[in-house]
Amino acid sequence: MTITATTPRPIGKTGLSITALGFGTAPLGGLYADVPTSQAVEVIEAAWNAGIRYFDTAPMYGLTRAEHLMGQVLRAHEGEFALSTKVGRLMTNQRAGRELPPEPPKNPLDPGWWNGLPFREVFDYSYDAIMRSYDDSQQRLGMRKIDLLYVHDIGRVTHADLHDHHWDQLTKGGGFRALQELKAAGDIKGFGLGVNEWEAIRDALEETDLDCCMLAGRYSLLDRDAADTFLPLAQKRGVSLALGGVYNSGILAAPKGGRRKFNYADADPVVVAKVEALRNVCDTYDVPLAAAAIRFPMRHPAVTAVVIGAKTASQLRQNVEWFDTPLPEAIWADLDAALASVRA
């Protein structure tokens, strides 16, 4: 069966289906650049008009801005769609006489927001915080429908010395229990983790069953970190994976000589050399490098969908075109060989 961007794909045993290509809203929160409201609305509308019916957002994106924008558009549409957001951060504001927890250390995977709303994030993965986060997201979205909840950015890279504290909140402090109760009550259809660290998903599977997880950047044409150990585990445990970061912060979608960001930072010379080796193979087959990048994760049976972001409607439509580009089977072995040929 040929999978296109709009092909429905089942999420484990939840009864929920999502389109093979999903739309993520981090760019609409001001990731790397300002996105005016009218432009953000146009992008979400373009995703809907292209037949995409899986939409992902998070309180973090634009410090609640993306959730507001998503709800504004989706509330106006009739028809079935799947919606996910994330828990683990509560949003607050500084005001006179109010003490806030100390500012958390800078997350190396958080690039900041150009046009975020005037709130500050407070990490909290406890039972009460998960329940409050769910309620807060419903209010910002202006809708009761939230199909999937992802525990956002739990992991040692994100939290460093505070990881054990936050992990205890999620496990001993009832965070997972809150998600289990929301699912049992029918308030959500499933839950999992939304992370850049596959190790966190592996560890979470020792604590509870997960329905679907969003993993960013760790299984891509350029970065195969999750391939050997984690993807077989996810498949064995029946965890559906929605993969983000398939362009590794844009380097696999940028034109030759364009922006060279890799995993939220400037790419080093070895990464640039790998990308150019991959590009040369794609040029030989007369296909865009981005088309190979967006389709590569779908070759693994553990992967249910790819989730992309876009700042403009034309970028969104271009992503759909790349996803639906026919690729010859022989290209994959040549891409693997090209990647292996570049040494650190």
Closest CA to 82 of 194, 242, 318: 242
Tens-place pLDDT, residues 128-148: 999 999 999 999 999 999 999
Assess whether 145 carries a catalytic annotation: no
Q: Supply the pLDDT for residue 97.
A: 55
Q: Superfamily for 8-249+293-327?
A: NADP-dependent oxidoreductase domain (3.20.20.100)
The domains of the chain are located at: 8-249+293-327
**Above pLDDT 70, what percent of the chain?**
92
* 252 CB-near residues (< 8 Å, 6+ apart): 220, 221, 222, 246, 275, 278, 289, 290, 293
CA dist 343 and 114 (Å) reads 36
Contact between residue 20 and residue 306 where contact means Cβ atoms under 8 Å apart: yes
Give mean pLDDT, residues 246-254: 87
Tokens of 290: 């981005």
Tokens of 273: 């050399």
Residue 240 — pLDDT band, cuts 50, 70, 90?
very high
Closest CA to 50 of 323, 335, 279, 342: 323
Q: Supply the pLDDT for residue 249.
A: 77
DSSP string covering 6-54: T-EEEETTTTEEEESEEEE-GGGGTSSS---HHHHHHHHHHHHHTT--E
Contact between residue 23 and residue 309 where contact means Cβ atoms under 8 Å apart: yes
pLDDT at 197 over 60: yes
Q: Is 274 exposed, middle or buried (0-12, 13-18, 19+ CB in 10 A)?
A: buried
Of the candidates 13, 32, 86, 124, the residue annotated as catalytic is: 86
Q: Supply the pLDDT for residue 135.
A: 98
Averaged confidence pLDDT in the chain: 93
pTM for this predicted structure: 0.94
Of the candidates 13, 34, 61, 264, the residue annotated as catalytic is: 61
Of the candidates 54, 56, 150, 211, the residue annotated as catalytic is: 56
Contact between residue 190 and residue 14 where contact means Cβ atoms under 8 Å apart: yes
* 213 CB-near residues (< 8 Å, 6+ apart): 150, 192, 193, 194, 195, 201, 234, 239, 240, 241, 242
Assess whether 61 carries a catalytic annotation: yes
Tokens of 154: 């739990």
Tens-place pLDDT, residues 49-75: 999 999 999 999 999 999 999 999 999
Which position has the token pair 């989706």?
74
Residue 261 — pLDDT band, cuts 50, 70, 90?
low
pLDDT at 90 over 80: yes
Least confident of 6-15, 124-133, 173-182, 268-277: 268-277
